[in-house]
Amino acid sequence: MIAPREKVDFKKKLGEVPHKPGVYLHRDRFNRVIYVGKARDLRKRLAQYFTPSKQMRADRKTVALLDAVYDFDWHVAGSEPEALLLEGKLIKEYRPRYNVSFRDDKRFLMVKVDDKEPWPRFRLTRLKVGDDGCRYFGPFAHSGALRQTMNFMRKKFGVLTFGRGSPTERELRSSTYQVPMKLADITAEQYRERVQTACEFMEGKSKELLDELELEMRAAATKLDFEKAAELRNMLDDLRQTTKQMTRYTTTMRHRLKLPSAIVPAADLAELGEALSLMRPPRRMECFDISNISTTHVVASMVCFIDGRPATHLYRRYRIKTLDGRQNDFAAMAEVVRRRYSRVLREVEAQVARAAGPEREDGTHVEYDAEFSQERLRDAVRRVENLDDDPALPRLPDLIIVDGGKGQLSSACAELQALGLFDDVPIVGLAKEREEIFRPGNPVPVVLPHETGALKLMQRIRDEAHRWANGYHQLLMTRRISVSVLDECPGVSEARKQALIKQFGSVTRLRRATVAEIASVPGISPRVAEGISQFLRTR
């Protein structure tokens, strides 16, 4: 237990704080971070907390925060947007008690360019997929400025900034639909040169172009065309915010920030194992979440943490198959747990069967047979793990976490009992509203202190499962919007449907196309094109 500390002399310490942008961290008497904030001027912002007149007018939450503050730290950032990025990252890591924003699984926007496409497009994304061969720019603190920058790039460089696939006939021949220059007048190689120029612009090589816009703005003001000058001024502000060189904060930069890390995996795992009365710290944890926004697509996710860190190569996504249009989180949880561990059992038993059985006194090994062996499966798995400690191999987890309360936990426990795993694998439910941890057969939940590393570890894996499930749900909804109408169109096979989507990019664009444009798609005859056009007009 950390010994309580005395309050620092705030007035004296404020004299050391610079008048620069950055982030500040309030700490309580046990040196725990309880609030993270950003400021354009660190000294002015921190002084507001400790000025008596400000304290008298503060709301109840701020008064409670100030009563709990015993010390504060700060870190200088290069600009206010940099401070915003760092603030969000530290809040997600520390999960301070008095912060509300940035505690969810949302992320800042980035720009993604897939160089593998014949006509690469600039798209907005919040998730960076590792080793996918794409170029990423960002993250960017101001989404509005980023969107305006994308509009500018489309007009200035003639690049595609939304949609997917190769340009449609309309995009190729039009000079106003997406880009001011006709793409039909250039080749794919020439278009890639435009993409390269736009990428250099996103990397911050934009001084000459910004200088040109500033001269244009001043010329408009000289001619008393203040409306155009104001438009150019706003555009310049957005472009400068987006293309300004900023520090992108990552966990590997922690030593440069001179801030202590809130994540100590070994300590957090040991604390969690003790809190849940486990035999040993849970090295491998698997967490399940259900995304049930509508009955159209009910999906589930399974994320895996090994040694307290995400093991993304072991993540799994599931489409729930047994609900028949009903909304039932309990049944969905039961299905995904059954499917997950039925497969793991098959893989583990096959792996154990291939390995040598327990050793006899004479040095020989007993042949393992899952059906007749007296050795428990968990003991057999532990024995094989000692032979090969590769966590990527099929393994039973040391702890299962389900996102939800007693109902979800009971459904999952019933499936584990049916599979014969209930006594082998610990399982708990984490209810989000009050962060209560439910255990099988115990009506009283475990409530860990908010600042404990064990609870924060469980929150991280739960939030990751939530993000993974929601991302899969959004992907399926996007696919459904793109192709569901064509699934019902007479005369349109799967091959024709794929050809139409590849050509036009979406059903919306296909709906706007003429019969001749539809008939130009390989495999689509004029008669079929006429039928597709009539079908879409009636839907």
**According to the model, what pLDDT value does residue 115 have?**
77
Q: Which two tokens stand for residue 341?
A: 């561990």
Q: Which two tokens stand for residue 7?
A: 């309050």
**According to the model, what pLDDT value does residue 98 have?**
81
Give 365's strand partners. 359
Largest CA distance in the chain: 101
Residue with tokens 């702890």: 399
**According to the model, what pLDDT value does residue 480 have?**
60
Give 335-399 as a DSSP string. HHHHHHHHHHHHHHHHHHHHS---B-TTS-BPPP-TTT--S-HHHHHHHHHHH---TTS----SE
**According to the model, what pLDDT value does residue 247 have?**
53
**According to the model, what pLDDT value does residue 127 have?**
67
**Edge-first strand listing for the sheet containing 134-140:** 122-125, 109-114, 134-140
130 CB-near residues (< 8 Å, 6+ apart): 312
What is the rounded distance in angstroms from the CA atom of residue 442 to the CA atom of residue 426? 13
pLDDT tens, residue order, the chain (539 aa): 455 678 888 888 988 999 988 899 998 887 888 888 888 899 999 988 887 776 667 777 788 888 888 999 888 887 777 787 788 778 877 778 787 765 544 567 788 888 778 788 888 887 666 566 788 877 776 777 777 777 777 777 777 777 666 777 766 666 544 555 667 777 778 888 888 878 877 777 667 777 777 777 888 778 787 776 776 677 677 666 666 655 555 444 444 445 545 566 888 899 999 999 898 999 999 999 988 765 567 888 999 999 998 888 899 999 888 876 567 889 999 999 999 999 888 887 777 666 655 556 666 655 555 555 556 666 666 666 555 556 556 678 999 999 988 999 999 999 999 988 888 899 999 987 788 999 998 888 898 887 788 888 998 899 889 888 887 777 776 666 555 677 778 888 878 888 887 788 777 788 888 999 999 998 899 999 999 988 888 87
Domains and CATH numbers, the chain: 10-94 (3.40.1440.10), 109-243 (no CATH), 265-462 (3.30.420.340), 488-538 (1.10.150.20)
Handedness of CA 91, 97, 101, 102 (dihedral sign): positive
Preceding amide of 426 cis, omega within 30 = no
Which pTM was predicted? 0.52
